[in-house]
Amino acid sequence: MGCGLLGLELHPGFPATPYVYVLYTLDKNPANPASSIPTWGDTCPAVPGATTDGCVASARLSRLSASGNVMVPGSEQVLLGLLDDGGGQAWCQQFPSHSIGSLAFGSDGALYVSSGDGASFNTEDYGQLGGTLPNTTTPLVPRNVCGDPPGGVGGAMTPPTAQGGALRSQSLRRPSGPVLLNGAILRLDPATGGPMAENPLVAHPDDNAKRIVAYGLRNPFRITTRPGTSEVWIGDVGYNSSEEVDRIVAPTSAPRNFGWPCYEGAGRQSGYDNRNLDSCETLYAAGSAVPPHYTYSHVGSSSIAGLTGYFE
């Protein structure tokens, strides 16, 4: 999962209901409301460094209106994500991959949305990464730029208490700090971008939590729904060893935690396990992570990049 426009879906009633839904990376620093759009351009510059310090961005889910085969100018309605004034934080992405993902309508009328962890794909990332401009003390991408607990923006992030980086996929379980939508599957009202009334956490005090029906995912680049059922199927790109196909049978039941980054495939993820992070250790002790529906080993550098909507 990279950057740009990554999800596009027509309303099930199209063209009578002439809406087109788009899910895209927003090239703006969510930690700095005054930053410009775009902030970085088409590529992450050498400074700060795409795979070392990252180039922080956010994302949006928007609805556009069509007239025939033409988009209506100025019709974009932001349903979820960072607004121009910096309000509405939902996703934070530090590195140039594992951004938002895919859109799919269910037979229940809900709009399902997937998103990645926004973390480093080269190393175990728990929020410790970031840097400064050369020969200055001005932070360009400060440590823990997404502001995860306990350090906050620029603060120290060390095991066992760090909850940033890939651990944003477990933010629903945080003992403190906001819930983000990274590494999650959302079930939304397509008219408003808010949670559907039947969502399992609709009574939760956190607005982001209300939208989540599954979490603990690394890079759910593509999702699909099974026709005639409420099932959501997820293709989650792996890290060191395993690709996953995950399945949500009943999206209105308790949210399913698929375990990333504490688990990869069927077992513990050794890199994060060895860090002895509280977020993972408590999950191991609870034994509550949901195993994949199907997992397989990498073949070279290949990854699970698509799911079809065809089911026997």
pLDDT digits (tens, 9 = 90+) for 231-283: 999 999 999 889 999 999 999 999 999 999 999 999 999 999 999 999 999 99
Residue 7, beta-bridge partner list: 23
Residue 250 belongs to domain spanning: 5-297
pLDDT computed for residue 306 by the predictor: 57
Averaged confidence pLDDT in the chain: 90
Matching residue, tokens 């099932």: 231
- The answer to whether residue 310 is domain-embedded is no
- Assigned domain for 303 exists: no
196 within a domain of the structure (yes/no): yes
Domain assignment present for residue 302? The answer is no
Q: Is the pTM of this model over 0.75?
A: yes
- The pLDDT value recorded for residue 46 is 81
Residue 73 belongs to some domain of the structure: yes
Q: What is the pLDDT of residue 32?
A: 76
- Residues forming a β-bridge with 131: 141
Residues of the chain short of pLDDT 50, as ranges, are: 1, 311
- Look up the CATH number of the domain holding residue 192: 2.120.10
How many domains, the chain?
1
Q: Report pLDDT for 141.
A: 81
- 311, part of any domain: no
pLDDT for res 307: 60
pLDDT of residue 1: 43
Asked if the structure places residue 115 within a domain, the reply is yes
Q: Is residue 308 part of a domain?
A: no
Output the pLDDT for position 31: 75
